[in-house]
Amino acid sequence: MDTDRIAGSAKEYAGRAEGAIGDMAGDAKTQASGKAREAAGAVQNLYGQAKDAVRDATDTATSYAKDVYENSGDTFRDGSQALSKKVRDNPLGALLVAGGIGFALALLMSRPARRPPPRWRYWG
C-alpha pair distances (Å), 74 with each of 20, 30, 80, 86, 118: 64, 67, 10, 18, 60
What pTM was computed for the model?
0.51
Quick one: pLDDT at residue 98?
92
Q: What are phi and psi of 122, to 5 degrees?
A: -105, 120
Q: What is the pLDDT of residues 38-70, one digit of tens each?
A: 898 889 888 888 888 888 899 999 998 888 888
In which region does residue 99 sit, left (phi positive, over 0), alpha (psi from -120 to 50) or beta (all else)? alpha
Q: What is the DSSP letter of 1?
A: -
**What is the pLDDT, as a whole number, of residue 45?**
86
118 pLDDT higher than 80? no
Rounded distance between C-alpha atoms, residue 18 and residue 20, angstroms: 5
Give ∠ CA 69-71-76 in degrees, rounded to 5.
100
Is residue 115 predicted with pLDDT exceeding 80? no
Residue 92 has what pLDDT? 92
